[in-house]
Homo-oligomer: A and B are copies of this chain.
Amino acid sequence: MDLLLTNGLIVTMNREREVLAEADVLIQDGRIARLGRNIRTRGAGLRVLDVTGKVVLPGFIHGHLHACQTLFRNRADGLELLDWLRERIWPFEAGHDADSLRASADLTFAELIRSGATAALDMGTVRHYDTVFESARDCGFRLTGGKAMMDASDVPTGLHESTEASLAESLALLERWHGTHGGRLRYAFAPRFVLSCTEKLLKEVARLAREKGVRIHTHASENRTECDVVRERVGRDNIAYFHELGLTGPHVTLAHCVWPTEEERGLLRDSRTVVCHCPGSNLKLASGIAPVPELLDAGVTVCLGADGAPCNNNLDMFVEMRLAALLHKPRVGPRGMPPERVLEMATLGGARALGLEAEVGSLEEGKRADITVVDLSDLHSTPSDPRDVLSPLVYSAQSRDVVHVLIDGKLVLKDRVLLTLDAASVASSARQHAGRIASRTRR
């Protein structure tokens, strides 16, 4: 059925960054058919959604996420990256079965949709990644994801896999899911990070990704100790090492990049690799503050992501946008990271992280109708300057302001109510499975 959003304030994020007042969006076959003032249409099959006074913007896109970890929210405080992984996250992940992973994914997509996100680049745990795709398939979320690849000899038993098994399972998932559901579900190879992968695996992933035309999603230079250990193990810096192995390029998304060297900044720019800034996670794990304004100034593509619930502890683009806008200002000045730059990271940047910049990330005719409708009239955003909708969106809005969300033109949140997931049963199932895994791992 066609859908017409009427009389909204449309933040297009098109090339001219137009903001259209009192404008309509006509959605046909999951795409934006027309966009502008006074769109008149005929036909019996038209549904109208009045969005008078509300802000209509491209759905947020998280460029780095771990849906499998959402069950471990609020259970992994006070640790730096490597301890956090070894003491909590890996044992928890090893405790997942298909059912618990499904519960974790359902909770993830429910929270993401409620906070205005329509797409994400996700890294799974080693096993059961089908269930994450199944969850996204069923709730209508736009997912690019892949199982974590962990074949290094010191990966703990519960997660360790052979190089061959890791590649075979990744390829099988790719075959089953990549490009399905109208292209809404896509595969991305996810070698976890240098320290969990053999060089053989990384090289083979680099080759296969090019051959199959899919993305690579991994972590780089998140934590200083990690950077030291990487340097010790492979004899060079993390991003430089990836570059040498073929793990850079516009089809690669590197999460974090908190500690890139001067040379690596150039590599990121020249190779057009996408960097995902995760400010909340980088603070919580005491990793540091990524030089994001500097990377952007150098011409690097940067997007935003919440990372995992246990290192955040929200999965909320409003929280990350606000933090990204504020965090760098003491270093680069009050005009550093203005709202327009931050919103670009959360929309167009995310689209690039998923390799979907031709399809989503802005509201333009022909693009897929991934749309978030926000009400900026609540007390905490009042008043605002009617000439500037971006400032309240980034500095004062909260996820509670998200009213409607559409993905592929389908309403998945309407009047703040999830339509494709039942919030109460999602929460209850998440609690049960989390409790079970925690008691199994004695946490």
Instruction: Give chain A's interface residues, CB within 8 Å of chain B.
Output: 71, 73-75, 77-80, 84, 107, 110-111, 114-115, 280, 282-289, 309, 312-316, 319, 322-323, 326-327, 329-330, 332-336, 338-339, 377-386, 388, 391-392, 395-396, 398-400, 423, 426-427, 430-431, 434-435, 438, 443
Contacts and interface: CB of A to CB of B under 8 A. Distances in A.
Nearest to A326: B283
B377 A427 contact: yes
A385 B284 contact: no
B427 A396 contact: no
A379 B313 contact: no
A236 to B, nearest CB: 25
A378 B431 CA distance: 11
A80 B331 CA distance: 12
A75 B385 contact: yes
Nearest to A289: B330
14 contacts: A74-B383, A74-B396, A78-B334, A107-B382, A285-B329, A286-B332, A312-B396, A327-B327, A380-B399, A382-B427, A382-B430, A382-B431, A383-B434, A386-B435
A77 B107 contact: no
Nearest to A386: B435
Nearest to A389: B74
Contacts of A75: 383-385
Contacts of A79: 334
A283 to B, nearest CB: 4
A286 B330 contact: yes
Q: Which of A285, A339, A396 has the most CB of B within 10 A?
A: A396
> Among the interface residues A80, A282, A380, which one has the most CB atoms of the partner chain B within 10 A?
A380
A114 B322 CA distance: 20
A333 B79 CA distance: 8
A169 to B, nearest CB: 28
Contact of A74 (B78, B285, B378, B388): B388
Contact of A383 (B71, B115, B280, B334): B71
B110 A379 contact: yes
A15 to B, nearest CB: 23
B431 A380 contact: no
B284 A334 contact: yes
Nearest to A401: B400
B114 A379 contact: yes
B383 A77 contact: no
Nearest to A335: B78
Contacts of A329: 283-286
Contacts of A284: 326, 329, 334, 395
A379 B427 CA distance: 6
Given A110-B379, A333-B80, A73 B396 contact: yes
B283 A330 contact: yes
Contacts of A430: 382-383
A388 to B, nearest CB: 7
Nearest to A309: B396
Contact of A384 (B74, B287, B315, B338): B74
Contacts of A438: 385
Contacts of A114: 379-380
B391 A74 contact: yes
Nearest to A330: B288
Given A284-B326, A284-B395, A380 B315 contact: yes
Given A73-B396, A283-B327, A395-B74, A80 B334 contact: yes
Nearest to A329: B286
B396 A399 contact: no
B326 A383 contact: no
Nearest to A84: B334
A380 B314 contact: yes
Interface centre among A74, A383, A395 (most CB of B within 10 A): A383
A226 B111 CA distance: 43
Contacts of A382: 73, 107, 427, 430-431
A74 B431 contact: no
Contacts of A395: 74, 77, 284, 312-314
A312 to B, nearest CB: 8
